[in-house]
Amino acid sequence: MKTETSKDILLYKRLFVYIKPYLGLISFSLLLALLVSAADGTLAWMVKPIMDDIFVNKNAELLRLIPLGLLLLYLVKGVSRFGQSYLMRSVGQRVIMQLRNKLYEHIQLMSLSFFHRTPSAVLMSRITNDVTKLARISSQVIADFFRQIFTVIVLLGVVFYREWRLALIYCLVLPVVIWPIKAIGKRLRKVSRRDQEKLAELNIILQESFTGTKIVKAFGMEDYESQRFNHENQKLYKIKMKGVAADELLSPLMEFLGAIGLAVVIWYGGMQVIRDNTTTGTFFSFIAAVAMLYAPIRKLSKMHNVFQDSMAATERVFDILDTPLEITDKESAIELPPFNQHIEFKGVYFSYNGHDSVLKDINLTIKKGQLVALVGLSGAGKSTLADMIPRFYDVTAGALLIDGYDVRDVKLKSLRSQIGMVTQETILFNDTVTNNIAYGGLDASPAEIIQAAKSAYAHDFIIEMPQGYDTVIGERGVKISGGQRKRITIARAILKDPGILILDEATSELDSESEKLVQQALEKLMHGRTTLVIAHRLSTIMHADLIVAIDNGRIAQQGTHRELMKMGGVYRRLYDLQFRKQE
């Protein structure tokens, strides 16, 4: 209980940082809230003169004044209420916008291992659902909270002013009403947390099955997937219904408890009027105020639930913001000067999970201008080794030096801007050809983009497309072949003009016809650069200055094709297995 509260206080403090810039707006809005509450109080207060002066004493002058006053009162209340809600919701939306940007920025900077650990559906849910829920705290909760609190205070004022003895009786009932509200709110918070977790699981299933539709169909797994979904969906239903029960129990419960108070008040108050201890107007003014109290108290209690739900979301959002960036610039990081000498792996070990080493004691020097080929069986660790150079992962032991600078000591931007990558997967964005090529070099001129496309043998098919360079490609754009997609990504790398190039099985998964063009494009790209190539083509390997055979995370052999063939061993076996048939 205690820890829950102190955790809440910590969360408020952190949330306050986002709300602080709008304190001016919020204060003004609170002023308007005061007006709304004052109007409500005046209404309850007016019941007495209406009853006693108009209906009992038949005062004709007041009959003219009071209806006009009533209209004026409602006008003031309406305008203030609109202004107040509008202001607070605009604050809420701004907080949403800011937090979404902040979350997105933070997530973008997370390391690759974070993305391997965290399903993207979960991240999407954080940015969309949770941020919205969180911002309800500022828009709904703060806005409504103060308006309802003010109203309760003003109405209680009227109640006490009219009949303080009755009011005291009524007040005895209040704590009885508040207690179940708190209990139910706590339960709702727990349910909301589980609800969100389940929803995220559902999203993961959706994401998997929609992106893998072809496989689902090919294996006839539609029923299986539907059942899997159905199963999770039912769990979600059960959790939801727990929340619904708690949520919906609240109003009737409060109403009933309120009715007890009202019954006592009518009994006692009626007795006072009958004995002429008080006037009918006073009594009805009192009853009006008590009746009007019901709405704000009910809203406050509902708000408590919304609030609990929002706090759960707030926790999740801050959890992500608190996840440290594993791979980031050191305080003392320096700009890596343009690559000039060599890339050195010095006793590099690496493990994805903290105990199984995927790379073991890697010692390797890649000199400027060299073409170095990595060969090895699938799963040997070739891609992992290549991923160390742009510092996608940090070494577990040893060091990776570029021109003598440890990659952990230089600015990531200055490191990655010097490295070009073409991998097995071709990632094109849902954007124009121009923007896909200029990705990472947005200030490139059209002439430079066309030049890059020409070098990548992509220009010819691009100008054949419906809108040429302005054609939208990518997941939802024009369909183009695998080889064409690949050449667009090569054009992207050419435009970037990096000193260091990493090609990770860039031509696999292509038919031999398109492979030829892609290969030519790659040769243009490699020209005059330092290249690390993970290859499955014999011709690439034959041209390499250095071949490195990786076996189970270790460098088994290194040398030229000739040397290694003469030596025998891992490379020779690999050659017989993979490359001989290409001869």
Q: Please, which residue, 195 or 505, has the CB nearer to ligand ADP?
A: 505
CB of 383 to Mg ion, least distance (A): 3
CA-based torsion, 517, 518, 524, 527: positive or negative:
negative
Q: Of Mg ion, ligand ADP, none, which one sits near residue 398, judging by CB under 5 to 8 A according to partner kind?
A: none
With H, G, I as helix, E, B as strand and everything else as coil, classify residue 329. Answer: coil
Instruction: Give 21 or 379: the residue with its C-beta nearer to ligand ADP.
Output: 379
Interaction partner, residue 21 (ligand ADP, Mg ion, none; CB < 5-8 Å by kind): none
Name the residue nearer to Mg ion (CB basis): 250 or 503: 503
Identify the CA nearest to 470 among candidates 437, 435, 432: 432
Q: Least distance (Å) from ligand ADP to the CB of residue 356?
A: 8
Toward ligand ADP, which CB reaches closer, 269 or 398? 398
CB of 478 to Mg ion, least distance (A): 29
Interior angle at CA 19, CA 13 and CA 20, nearest 5 = 85
Q: Which two tokens stand for residue 59?
A: 């005062």
Terminal Cα distance for the chain, rounded: 73
How many residues make contact with Mg ion (CB under 5 A)? Answer: 1
* Residue type present at position 44: A
Based on CB atoms, which residue is closest to Mg ion, 344 or 387? Answer: 387
Cβ within 8 Å of residue 530, ≥6 positions away = 339, 343, 366, 367, 368, 369, 370, 499, 500, 501
Q: How far apart are CA 447 and CA 524, in angstroms?
A: 18
Q: Which is nearer to ligand ADP, 383 or 417 (CB)?
A: 383
Q: Can you give the binding site for ligand ADP, defined by CB under 6 A? A: 116, 352, 358, 376, 378-384
Query: Residues 363-392 vs Mg ion: string with x where CB under 5 A?
Result: --------------------x---------
Q: What are phi and psi of 275, to 5 degrees?
A: -85, 5
> Would you mind telling me the total number of residues written for the chain in this entry?
583
In angstroms, give the least distance from the CB of 509 to ligand ADP.
Answer: 14
Report if residue 308 touches Mg ion, rule: CB under 5 A: no
Residue with tokens 């969309």: 128
Shortest spacing between CB 115 and ligand ADP, in angstroms: 9
Tell me whether residue 433 or residue 534 sits nearer to ligand ADP (CB atom): 534
* Partner interacting with residue 384 (select from ligand ADP, Mg ion, none; CB below 5-8 Å by kind): ligand ADP
Least Cβ distance, residue 116 to ligand ADP (angstroms):
4
> In which region does residue 568 sit, left (phi positive, over 0), alpha (psi from -120 to 50) or beta (all else)?
left
How far from chain centre, in Å, is Cα 103? 6
Least distance in angstroms from the C-beta of 358 to ligand ADP? 4
- The per-residue DSSP string of 150-170 comes to HHHHHHHHHHHHH-HHHHHHH
Nearer to Mg ion, 317 or 373 (CB): 373
Shortest separation between residue 501's beta carbon and ligand ADP, angstroms: 17
Task: State which residue has the least CB distance to Mg ion.
Answer: 383
Closest approach of Cβ 362 to Mg ion, in Å? Answer: 15
The distance of closest approach from Cβ of residue 352 to ligand ADP in the complex, given in angstroms and rounded to an integer, is 3
CB-nearer residue toward ligand ADP: 376 or 390? 376
CB neighbour list of residue 581: distance below 8 Å, 6 or more residues apart = none
Q: What is d(CA 239, CA 233) in angstroms, rounded to the nearest whole number?
A: 10
Residue 337 touches which member of Mg ion, ligand ADP, none, C-beta under 5-8 Å by kind: none
Cβ distance to ligand ADP smaller for residue 380 or 510? 380
Residues 6 or more apart in contact with residue 494 via CB below 8 angstroms: 452, 455, 456, 524, 525
**Helices and strands, number each (H, E), in the chain:** 21, 12
Residue 126, burial from CB neighbour count under 10 angstroms (0-12, 13-18, 19+): buried
Exposure b/e, 324-353, CB count within 10 A at least 16 = b: eeebebeeebeebeebeebbbbeebebbee
Angle at 133 (CA atoms; ends 132, 138), nearest 5 degrees: 90
Q: Which residues bind Mg ion (CB under 5 A)?
A: 383
